[in-house]
Each structure stands twice: as C-alpha cells, then as structure tokens.
Structure 1
Amino acid sequence: MSEAPLGSWHDGAAKRAIVEFVTSSATEGSQGFVAPVDRVAVFDNDGTLWVEKPAPVQLPFVLGKLAARLEADPSLADRQPYRAIVDRDESYLRALNDQDPHAVASMVDAVGSAWEGTTFGEFEAEAARYLAAWRHERFGLPYPGIVYQPMLELFDYLRSHGRRLFVCSGGGRDFMRVICEDVWGLPRENVIGSAPEFSYRDGAMVRQAAPHGPVTLGPGKPEYVLARTGRLPGFAAGNDDVDVELLDTARFALLIVHDDDVREYAYSDSAHRARAAAERSGWTTVSVKNDWKTVLKERSD
C-alpha cells in the first residue's frame, strides 16, 4: 500500500480540499479534469514556503550591501532607503511591505545601483556566501531548515499528479535561484521574481541598474506568470496581500494563515486584504496551528 499523501498535514478541511482538487483535476473524465499541459501550480516564497519573520531571509543581504555603500559614500544618506538605514526607520520597511509606490521605487533603484556592473557569477557567489553563514535568529537553523515541511510535501504531491511547479516572489529572482534546486527541487527557469536587466560584456552577463519590468508584487505576479508560462495558474498559494492578484487568477487558491506563535509566528500584518478576499471568494485557508502536524523541515513538533 502506498504511503498516504501530505503526511505532515492534519486530516482537516484544508487537506481534504487539496486532495479532492488535485485528484479530480488529474482524473480523465471527471468534471474537474485539467489537461496535463495546463497543470501549472505557482507559489509565493516568503511566508508561504519558508519563514519570513522577523525579516525575510534576503533582507539583511540587501541592507548589508546598502550599508556598505553608505559607509563608502555618506552623501547617500540624503535619500531613501539610505536615510531609513541611518535613522533605523522601521516605518520605511512597513511601507515596503504595504507596497507603497515611493518606498518600493526607492528600494528598487538602490538595489539596482548597488549591484550594477556585477557579473551573473559574482552576484551568485556573493549570495551563496551570505546564505552559507545565515542562521535564523530564533531557531538557530540554516536556511534549508526554515522551509515548511508540509509545503515540500505538497510540492511532491502536486508533481506526482503531473503539476508543473513555479515560484513567483517579489524577492530577487537571482537570489532565489541560488537555492531553488537544492531546497525546492525546482529548475532555475521555474523561479520568477524581481530582477535587473542584463547586458553582454566580454563573454559575461552583467547586471544593469534598471529593473527588468515592474517588481513582482500584486498585479505583477500573474502578469509575470503569464509571460513566463503562457498560462495562468490552476493552483496557487500565498500568504499576504501582495499575493491576492495571483490567487485571484487561480482555479484553486490556497492562503497560508500564520497563527502559531509557539512553533512559528502569529501575525496578520499585510494580510488583511488577503484574508478578506479568501472569505469572499471561498479560497482554501491553511492554519499553521491547526492544519500542520510539523512546521519546519528541521524541527520535530
């Protein structure tokens, strides 16, 4: 007898809804059948696939780079986001979370300039060094350990029913591609995220300051998914307001609700619109506290 799917999930409404949708969409002749070519599943990253509190994994990498630029050129303190670094202005970070256009634009501009002229390989090496040393401040785990075990099982379950998986995040595409094969088992081409323009120079691909299109947040998510896959997702998962548009385009939408302050974190900041949309549209919600037997990959709950 084969092992039951989603072993780290409690047998509740969320698990049953997932299993019913996935099996129905893969069963030819069923009312919900989806042709294999259209079985696209798209996942947000921070807060959906791994822990995003107290700050997303990539944020200290970015802020550290900007702080080094600020030290080399103190005149940068006259503008954002450098002024926020000097003033330790947490309201600026909240504005980024809330997709304030001015905050997002200033951060995109600063990040683009910080790595301008860096080759593809140099950026990856810099990110890899950072990730090798990174540890979660509460759990003490390296980055692979803070991935959600139930979501890895969901990846495997979807693959077993012919789903092609993609990650679509507002975070840096090239940062995520450093870890995507080892952690998620996804090829690099299945990772969608915010990225710079590149130019060819003497046999190398070099990062430019200008972004490659808009930041991958809100409406940008389904726009990029459509551009990358030629399809909108049949299955999509997210956890906060920047995922609403992605989930709204999916036939089956899964919203992760962070409500377990013992095994992870309990918070609803930047998720009020998403939770209202879930209730209004009938999305499947996943309670970390009640639906997951185990939360983190490298911890036993």
Structure 2
Amino acid sequence: MSRSPLGSWNDGAAKQAIVGFVTSAATEGAPGYVPPMDRVAVFDNDGTLWVEKPAPVQMPFVLGKLAARLQADPSLAAEQPYRAIVDGDEAYLRALNDQDPDAVTSMVKAVGSAWEGTTFGEFEAEAEQYLASWRHERFGVPYSGVVYQPMLELLDYLRTYGWRLFVCSGGGRDFMRVICEDTWGLPRENVIGSAPEFAYRGGVLVRQAALHGPVALGPGKPEYFLARTGRLPGFAAGNDDVDVELLDCARFALLIVHDDDVREYAYSDSAQRARATAERSGWTTVSVKNDWKAVLKERSYEEEPE
C-alpha cells in the first residue's frame, strides 16, 4: 500500500476537502489563501489523535494516584472524586470519560492537590514510569500504538505546507508533554491543556494545587489557544462536544466520527452536539470506518481491510 502523503486515507470527500483546503491555503492569490504566519492548526487529543476508549490513557494514572492518597487519608472520601472511587460510582466515571465539564473540573482540582509540591521532574518521572508499562486492554499495544496513523499523516501533511501544529486537550498538559515529542513530533511548548500553577521554591519549580486558568474544555480551548498563539486556528480537529467552540473558531474544521467497532470503537456519547453543529456549519466529517484505510499506528497496512 502506498506510503504517499495521507496514504492511509481513502480517496473520499474528507480527504479531498483536506487536500483542497491545504493546497488552496498555500496558493497566493487563491480564494482560500492563508498567509504563512496565520497557518496555525490545533488538534484535540483523546479520540482525535489517539484512542480514548474504554478510558483515556491518563485516567488510570490519575485514579491510581488518588486511590493511594485516599488510603493515606480516608477523610477525603467525603468529597469528589474520592467519593466516586470509594463508591465505585460508574456514573461519575462515565461522566469523566465523556469529559463532562463538572466531573473534569472536580478531577483536575483533585489532581492539583495530589501532586502539590511535586517538582516538574518528579511528576514527569511518575508519568514515564506509568507509561512504560501501560498497555491497551483490547489491543495490547503501548501508548504509542494507539495513536491514529491517519492523523500522524495529517500532521506531517500540514507541516509540509508550513503549518505550525498545536494540541489542545482537556487532559493534563504536563502528562501530554511527556509523550508529545516522540509521539507527535511536537515541541512541548505547542501542547496546551489543563494544568496547575507553578511556584518557585528553594531554587526549583513546584506544582501548586490551584489551576492555571480554566479547564481546557469547551470555551476554554479557544481561550487557551488565543492566549498561547495570538491567533485563532486556521485548521482545527476534534471529536466531541467539548471541541465545538474550538472548531467553530477555525477556518477549516474537521470532526472525527467514531463508527468502526471492528478496528476501533463505535460510539456517539458526548458527540451529539458536535455532529449536529458539523452538519449545520458544513464542517468536514471523518468516518473512521469509511475514510481510513488503517487506524492504529502499530498495526500494519496489510492487517487492515481494504
């Protein structure tokens, strides 16, 4: 199978729309021309760049930390998300998995407290140790193997045309920065996400319990992106309702639709508003089942059905 640009994309409407936009954006004088300085693209992470089911890669890392903290201090069970851990509250965990803003906010606050006082290097060492042994429960591959091959090709394709790439996710910024260079080829400063404040203490920077700004969901995504880049995105990609505001700000919006339960997962939870907005606004939608020849990075082309 060809390794040409976007080689694991079927030649359908989604691929044609991407190629049409990117080539027009690079053609001076064309109606869709985008000046080089404005060629900034942003991608959600969970469900957009890698598999988010049955739970995002970061979730067991966080829950394990909170469980250990709860064991050391049982009084924490009176508050969320510790109460959900004690009760085995599937509704809360499902809301967290679906990136419900209230659930995510309570979790991010708990994460801030759990790692309060930890140095930058100490947090990264914990994350690296966790990632070294993490395997997807269905596919059996490490975290690098659940990245979507077509999206890696899209990142490379945009780079070829001079686009600067960013990731903006509700997930932990510092967790994503551990894997961003090797996995996406992105520098750390191009990763935006929910994060704590840092304070300079005794010659080192340590994490604080307080959040640095809002959680990077919904309106928080374009707010963070504008603050970081000074521009609205020319190209944006996401997959669910918390990405709507970010995609709505972009010249070209790409919505990933998860409809392949053979090679990945088929689901629409927390994506109904995004799909309705895509149809109403004319966004480009990507069917995992119909638009991608291959899905996961560590599965060979030959293993995937035509």
TM-score with structure 2 length normalisation? 0.96
Closer, same or farther: CA 240–100 of 1 in aligned 2, 3 Å:
closer
Is 1:187 equivalent to 2:187 in the alignment? yes
> Which residue matches 1:119?
119
Structure 1 distance, partners of 2:75, 2:186, is 42
Paired amino acid for 1:6:
L
Is 1:17 equivalent to 2:24 in the alignment? no
> Which residue matches 2:49?
49
Provide the aligned length of Structure 1 versus Structure 2: 300
Structure 1 counterpart SS, 2:189: helix
Paired amino acid for 1:83:
R
- Contact 1:97 / 1:270 at 8 angstroms: preserved in 2? no
Paired amino acid for 1:12:
G
Q: Which residues in structure 2 correspond to 1:9-158 (within 5 Å)?
A: 9-97=9-97, 100=100, 102-158=102-158
Structure 1 counterpart SS, 2:264: coil
Structure 1 distance, partners of 2:284, 2:206, is 42
Structure 1 distance, partners of 2:173, 2:83, is 26
Paired amino acid for 1:299:
R
Deviations 1:172-205 (A, max 9, x none): 0000000000000000000000000000112211
Moved more, 69-78 or 10-19: 69-78
- CA positional deviation for 1:98: 5.5
Is 1:226 equivalent to 2:220 in the alignment? no
Unaligned runs of 5+ in 2: none
> Which residue matches 1:294?
294
Structure 1 distance, partners of 2:278, 2:149, is 23
> Which residue matches 1:272?
272
- CA positional deviation for 1:109: 2.0
Closer, same or farther: CA 23–102 of 1 in aligned 2, 3 Å:
closer
- Contact 2:108 / 2:194 at 8 angstroms: preserved in 1? no
Structure 2 distance, partners of 1:76, 1:245, is 34
Percent same amino acid among aligned pairs? Answer: 86
Closer, same or farther: CA 204–18 of 1 in aligned 2, 3 Å:
same
Closer, same or farther: CA 141–213 of 1 in aligned 2, 3 Å:
same
Deviations 1:144-186 (A, max 9, x none): 0110000000000000001000000000000000000000000
Deviations 1:44-96 (A, max 9, x none): 00000000000000000000000000111111111111110011111112333
Structure 2 distance, partners of 1:44, 1:105, is 18
Paired amino acid for 1:92:
Y
CA RMSD of aligned residues (A): 1.3
> Which residue matches 1:176?
176
Structure 2 distance, partners of 1:42, 1:108, is 22
Structure 2 distance, partners of 1:30, 1:102, is 44
- CA positional deviation for 1:102: 4.1
Deviations 1:107-135 (A, max 9, x none): 12211110000000000000000000100
Structure 1 distance, partners of 2:169, 2:259, is 22
Closer, same or farther: CA 101–191 of 1 in aligned 2, 3 Å:
closer
Paired amino acid for 2:246:
L
Structure 2 counterpart SS, 1:179: helix
Structure 1 distance, partners of 2:45, 2:184, is 11
Structure 1 distance, partners of 2:239, 2:99, is 15
Deviations 1:223-273 (A, max 9, x none): 000000000100000000000000000000000000000000000001000
Structure 2 distance, partners of 1:103, 1:236, is 25
- CA positional deviation for 1:97: 4.8
- Contact 2:56 / 2:97 at 8 angstroms: preserved in 1? no
